[in-house]
Amino acid sequence: MEEQLMSVIGLRGATVFDSTGRDPHRADLRLHDDVIDTGSGPADEVLDLDGHTVLPGFIDAHAHVGLLSLYGQASWSAAEQAGYVFRNLRESLDQGFTTLRDLGGIDGGVLKAIKAGLINGPRVHPSGQILSQIGGHGDMRPKFSDEPDNPGLGGGLVRNHALCTGPDQVRAAVRNQFRRGATQIKMFVTGGVLSEGDPLESPQFTVEEIRAAQDEAQSHGSYVTVHAHTDTGLLRALEAGVRSFEHASMIDEETASALQRSGSTVVPTLAVDEILASDPAAWGVPDHLLDDLDHLHTEQRRSLTMLHDLGVSLGSGADLIGTEQRTRARQIYLMAKEIGLANAIESATRVNAELLRISDRVGTIEPGKLADLVIYEGDAAEDPEIIGTRPPKYVIQSGRIIRRP
Ligand SMILES: [Zn+2]
């Protein structure tokens, strides 16, 4: 699976989507150690890619590699959870995701395992625990439990939600996430789909509380991204200075315009509901929530199209959960159906790189950028449906061929 670093790799004759805004075109590429090069000369290995498509390494801006079960993960052993987390990471890379922003669950500890070479995995930007209000989307306690906090989830390996109230507790929660290696902060500011007792429309946290999180994150040179399905909570976060939004699935035109004016980025998440809807029983989704899923599906597409038409910057996130996270690239396929393949690819590469603040190194195919590439058999300019419906043929991360036939 893993290969020795080649000093020079030549890629010949592929159709290249470089995510710079340029139309797909036929080009040769040269990889020198870990970067894309302009030079010529002999290569240690040449891949003949006639009839293939080369794309920048995919970035999933909304992952949860440590959120393994919707219910009852607290009863799993730490060893079991670690095994699944590592497999989720390995498989993400194998599907072409060279970078993940994890939006809740794992902390900087997992990163150390990747950096130590213990597992093959994407570059990871962890968030630690998601900030959640009492009784809100991330309050996982049984309704009448007297426990003061959420159930523990495996000895610090995976910790999903931090319950907090008031600006002081919010600040403390933010500081704790950075202490454990978070690179950004995730916060729930509206209800969610698979939780009961907090309707989707309900705003969560006050402007004052959200502002405390945003200010504190900025002090750490970082930012807050908020889970927001509906208008009121989203607008509160916007007022509090937040410029990074997840889902935005049921919003009106006024909210969409406010997002556009503020220069915010929205990460639509389409892949997860496809999976939940395909086998709700396996996910333990109660029957009475199925209609909600259906409604969400329609509303998400309406909101996404509206945001795209208004020119709002769109990232891309699969929001996969569970122990089988092999369908991450479905997000690109599903977004392509709404906004076209080239836009969907740019969302999952260049825009996500900008969002993660790493666009100086990854996100496009340009000389000097890191050699993170995904290569599909077939020409996506002629047959866009190959992206996200079949596994890639090659995956290259920092100039290393991670996957090959
Ligand atoms: Zn999520």
Residue 2 domain flag: no
What's the confidence (pLDDT) of residue 2? 47
Q: What is the CA radius of gyration of the chain?
A: 21
Is 224 in a helix, a strand, or coil?
A: strand
Verify that 367 and 349 share a domain, yes or no: no
CATH at residue 259: 3.20.20.140
Q: Per-residue pLDDT tens for 233-250?
A: 999 999 999 999 999 999
Q: Please say if the pLDDT value at position 3 is more than 60.
A: no
Is 153 in a helix, a strand, or coil?
A: coil
Provide mean pLDDT across the span 200-208.
Answer: 94
Verify that 218 and 259 share a domain, yes or no: yes
Q: Please say if the pLDDT value at position 197 is more than 80.
A: no
State the residue range of the domain holding 396. Answer: 8-56+363-403
How far does residue 278's CA lie from ligand 1's centre (Å)?
Answer: 18
Verify that 194 and 234 share a domain, yes or no: yes
Residue 3 domain flag: no
How far does residue 96's CA lie from ligand 1's centre (Å)?
Answer: 20
Verify that 205 and 297 share a domain, yes or no: yes
How far does residue 156's CA lie from ligand 1's centre (Å)?
Answer: 20
Q: Per-residue pLDDT tens for 90-103?
A: 999 999 999 999 99
Residue 271 domain flag: yes
How far does residue 118's CA lie from ligand 1's centre (Å)?
Answer: 26
DSSP tag of 350: I
Verify that 251 and 138 share a domain, yes or no: yes
How far does residue 113's CA lie from ligand 1's centre (Å)?
Answer: 23
How far does residue 186's CA lie from ligand 1's centre (Å)?
Answer: 9
Secondary structure E strands in 49-93: 52-56, 58-63
Verify that 158 and 229 share a domain, yes or no: yes
CATH at residue 50: 2.30.40.10
Verify that 43 and 140 share a domain, yes or no: no
How far does residue 106's CA lie from ligand 1's centre (Å)?
Answer: 13
Verify that 218 and 313 share a domain, yes or no: yes
Number of structural domains the chain divides into: 2
How far does residue 272's CA lie from ligand 1's centre (Å)?
Answer: 9
Provide mean pLDDT across the span 200-219.
Answer: 96
Residue 1 domain flag: no
Residue 270 domain flag: yes
Residue 224 domain flag: yes
Verify that 184 and 260 share a domain, yes or no: yes
Q: Per-residue pLDDT tens for 142-156?
A: 888 888 888 766 556
Q: Per-residue pLDDT tens for 284-317?
A: 777 777 777 888 889 999 999 999 999 999 999 9
How far does residue 269's CA lie from ligand 1's centre (Å)?
Answer: 8
Verify that 217 and 331 share a domain, yes or no: yes
Verify that 250 and 372 share a domain, yes or no: no
What's the confidence (pLDDT) of residue 141? 83
Which of 319, 335, 355 represents a domain boundary (last residue)?
355
Q: Which of 209, 169, 205 is nearest to 190 (CA)?
A: 205
Q: Please say if the pLDDT value at position 8 is more than 60.
A: yes
Verify that 91 and 172 share a domain, yes or no: yes
Residue 231 domain flag: yes
Q: Which helix (H) or strand (E) holds 212?
A: helix 207-219
How far does residue 300's CA lie from ligand 1's centre (Å)?
Answer: 15
Confidence of residue 40 (pLDDT cuts 50, 70, 90): confident
How far does residue 193's CA lie from ligand 1's centre (Å)?
Answer: 10
Provide mean pLDDT across the span 54-79.
Answer: 91
DSSP tag of 290: H
How far does residue 246's CA lie from ligand 1's centre (Å)?
Answer: 8
How far does residue 201's CA lie from ligand 1's centre (Å)?
Answer: 17
Confidence of residue 39 (pLDDT cuts 50, 70, 90): confident
What's the confidence (pLDDT) of residue 291? 79
How far does residue 64's CA lie from ligand 1's centre (Å)?
Answer: 7
What percentage of the chain exceeds 90 in pLDDT?
78
What mean pLDDT, rounded, does the chain reach?
A: 92
Q: Which amino acid does the sequence have at 97?
A: F
How far does residue 63's CA lie from ligand 1's centre (Å)?
Answer: 7
Q: Which of 25, 26, 24, 22 is nearest to 12 (CA)?
A: 26
Residue 21 domain flag: yes
What's the confidence (pLDDT) of residue 4? 53
Q: Please say if the pLDDT value at position 1 is more than 70.
A: no
